[in-house]
Amino acid sequence: MQIFAMSLSSIVPKPAEYGGSDSATVEGTPEMSETHSKAVVAYPAAAAQFEEVFYKVKMEQKGGGGGVSWWGTNTSSREKSILSGITGTVCPGEILAMLGPSGSGKTTLLTALGGRLNHQNNCKFMSGKITYNGQPFCGSIKRRTGFVAQDDVLYPHLTVTETLVFTALLRLPRSLSRDEKVQHVEHVISELGLSGCRNSMIGGPLFRGISGGEKKRVSIGLEMLINPSLLLLDEPTSGLDSTTAQRILTTLKRLASGGRTLVTTIHQPSSRIYHMFDKLVLLSEGSPIYYGPASAALDYFSSIGFSTSLPSLNPADLLLDLANGIAPDSRHASEQRENMEQDQKTVRKALISAYDKNICAKLKAELTRHRATLVHKLVAAVQGAASEGLRERRYEAFNRLRIFQVISVATLGGLLWWRTPASHIEDHCFALLLLRVLGVLPTLQCSFHISPGKKNADKRKIIRNVQAFVLLPSKNSWRPALELALPTAFVVIIYWMGGLKPDPFTFILSLLVVLYNVLVSQSLGLAIGAILMDIKQATTLASVTTLVFLIAGGYYIQQIPAFIVWLKYLSYSYYCYKLLLGVQYDEDDYYECSKGVLCRVGDLPAIKSMVASTTCG
């Protein structure tokens, strides 16, 4: 172990190398300061909900009337219920405490919430529903969940800083640099109040190290390195004196106040610690007998006939007596009775019955309303995102100035080509070229629609509301309709004023070709903007790409050198122009090239070059 510590110290810098303990931090907030947010992702808040959780195990017993084991001993199996219909919810900013005597199922329920419980095999079976923000436990939930076990499993020969840095190097993403990970360790040390013992060894059975409370805070710090939104703790105050336990709970309360969700098991808290809990689940032999605000527990039991008017006693002691089946008004007398066990069973049965009657029904109704609220929030988020996208695109791409620009240019072009005779095919080809140019322009406009600032703003909105796969499509659902409205108006004006082929079917095909070209151009512009994430660079690349595609599109240059002829096959405007010509003309058609002389359409240079390229391809 000493050799391991020495090798680790070579990769862990001294405190002076990364600023000592004077680094400023923001206490208790899951979204760290700007410096720390670059190092570790601030996960969204997580609300945990568990409903009708049952957990049973099969236990084998010797000497029963069951089967025979492989060594010849008679065995029988019986089913033992560890958890019996536990229901509850805990929201961000709250501390949910699971209270109960030893063997009541606290750790089992906590393990189930952390996704660490074996759901079903030959001798174990679990049922019920556990969700996080309405989703079942999955890899993404696991990555933002911290689990602090009851026993502190730490390397005794490492210092506090070395322990945290070693864990950070292992658990934080490889995309982060070593300096960023060390900087995040500094933030955790300051947040948990470990600056005073940062250079002290953890210690073990053979030599003295830091105190028990500091070890527990180091264990919490190991989970805080991933900046969890859900933190589960198993007996965090076990083996600590009252003052140290109070400090641990003060630290946890500060972490919860920053928006994290905390769930902890507790065995016998002091009265000061008890009043720091927001919610309480009281278990008795795996069955719930109370769920609700910790401050209202005593009033609830008084209301169902179990007097708790003993102000001198710790509220947790009274609750634990009830969980053990000992009524407060007979806790001393019952010890002298021979039928004490029967009395305890009677008390437990009465408490479970009262829970089912007074709490369980209301809790289920509350969970149903909570699910309905989530659905309403989801619908509202989708509607809000769609409305926001509509307003955004309306002012960016569908404003009055833009409408005037498109309509005026289309009207002027329609006047220039007004009633152009069918024999003027070259003029018509240029009109088709104008329609093709209309589809190229969106590449320039969309190349700077995605920028770092806008991306971060969208990311913050996604984190605060619902998943990206819901918001992004909703926000962009209006984009095609708005983006294609003006090109449609442009095509309608140019087509019918410019004397193109007056056939409704031909017009519809031409319109579809132009609109498809517009969508492809927009996609290319958005891709360039998303890849470069810089307005100047994206605009420059989009301008060069658009110009090259336009020149190589088959109208301006009809004979491209062989060594670079491949360039036009990359141009989407080339295919758009070819489709427009194919819709308007047939190469075997004839037109009046001069007075009284008919010429074949396929012999026109502007069309012949496109037909020849198709034949060669």
In DSSP notation, 359-382 reads: IIHHHHHHHHHHHHHHHHHHHHHH
Contacts of 260 (CB under 8 A, 6+ apart): 30, 45, 92, 93, 228, 229, 230, 231
Spatial separation of the C-alpha atoms in residues 187 and 52, rounded to whole Å: 39
Which pLDDT value is given to residue 507? 92
**Does 466 have pLDDT greater than 50?**
no
What pLDDT score was predicted for residue 590?
81
Interaxial angle between packed helices 479-497 and 361-397, expressed in degrees from 0 to 180 and rounded to the nearest 10: 30
3-state helix, strand, coil in the chain (%, to 5): 55, 15, 30
pLDDT computed for residue 334 by the predictor = 45
- Judged by average pLDDT, the poorest of 55-64, 344-353, 368-377, 391-400 is 368-377
Confidence of residue 64 (pLDDT cuts 50, 70, 90): low
pLDDT at 509: 92
What tokens does 439 get? 């589809």
Residue-level pLDDT at 212: 86
pLDDT of residue 264: 92
- Tell me the C-alpha distance between 84 and 53, whole Å: 7
User: pLDDT-derived band of residue 76, with 50, 70 and 90 as boundaries?
Assistant: low
Alpha helices in 157-296 (DSSP H): 160-171, 178-191, 212-224, 242-257, 271-274
Residue 1: pLDDT band (50, 70, 90) is very low
Instruction: Give the per-residue pLDDT at 265.
Output: 92
Distance CA 296, CA 280 (A): 9
- Cα 568 from Cα 560, distance rounded (Å): 9
Where does residue 217 rank: exposed (0-12), middle (13-18), buried (19+ CB within 10 A)?
Answer: buried
More confident residue, 226 or 281: 281
For the chain, what's the residue count? 617
* Single-letter code of the amino acid located at 557: I
Residue 146: count other Cβ atoms within 10 Å of its Cβ.
Answer: 21
Question: Which of 65-69, 227-231, 364-368, 462-466 holds the top average pLDDT?
Answer: 227-231
Q: Indicate the pLDDT class of residue 9, thresholds 50, 70 and 90.
A: very low
> Beta strand 124-132 with 135-136: parallel, antiparallel or unpaired?
antiparallel
Any idea which of 197-211, 338-352, 474-488 has the lowest mean pLDDT? 474-488
Question: Quick one: average pLDDT of 522-531?
Answer: 80
Query: Quick one: tokens of 363?
Result: 């809790």
List of residues 6+ apart from 475 with CB closer than 8 A: 385, 386, 388, 389, 392, 458
Reported confidence tier of residue 16, pLDDT bands at 50, 70, 90: very low
Residues 531-543: what's their mean pLDDT?
Answer: 82
Please say if the pLDDT value at position 74 is more than 60.
Answer: no
- Is residue 18 exposed (0-12), middle (13-18) or buried (19+ Cβ within 10 Å)? middle
Instruction: Tell me the average pLDDT of the chain.
Output: 75
As a whole number of angstroms, the longest Cα–Cα distance in the chain is 128
d(CA 194, CA 186): 10
At 550, the amino acid letter reads L
Whole-number pLDDT of residue 453: 40
Give the residue from 113, 88, 87 showing the smallest Cα distance to 234. Answer: 113
CA 172 – CA 160 distance, rounded (Å): 18
Query: Residue 137: what pLDDT?
Result: 80
Q: Please name which of 149, 140, 142 lies closest in space to residue 222, comparing C-alpha atoms.
A: 149
Other residues' Cβ atoms within 10 Å of the Cβ of residue 158? 22
Which structure tokens are listed for 207? 């030599």
Q: What angle do CA 76, 77, 81 make, to 5 degrees?
A: 155
16-25, 324-333, 438-447, range with greatest mean pLDDT: 324-333
CA distances, 306 to each of 222, 270, 299, 351 (Å): 42, 21, 9, 9
Q: Can you list the alpha helix ranges (DSSP code H) found in 450-584?
A: 452-464, 468-475, 479-497, 504-532, 535-551, 572-584
The pLDDT value given to residue 144: 82
pLDDT at residue number 96: 92
Higher pLDDT, 598 or 441: 598
DSSP state of 265: E
CA 512 to chain centre: 38
Q: Dihedral of CA 80/82/83/84: which sign?
A: positive
46 touches 142 (CB < 8 A) = no
Distances (CA, A) of 553 to 440, 568, 584, 587: 11, 6, 17, 19
pLDDT band with cut points at 50, 70 and 90 for residue 376? low
| 147-151 mean pLDDT | 86
Q: Is the pLDDT of residue 456 over 50?
A: no
pLDDT band at 7 (very low <50, low <70, confident <90, very high): very low
**What does the alpha-carbon distance between residue 458 and residue 468 come to, in Å, rounded to a whole number?**
9
- 3-class state of residue 530 by DSSP: helix
Q: Which of 103-107, 433-437, 517-521, 578-582 has the lowest mean pLDDT?
A: 433-437
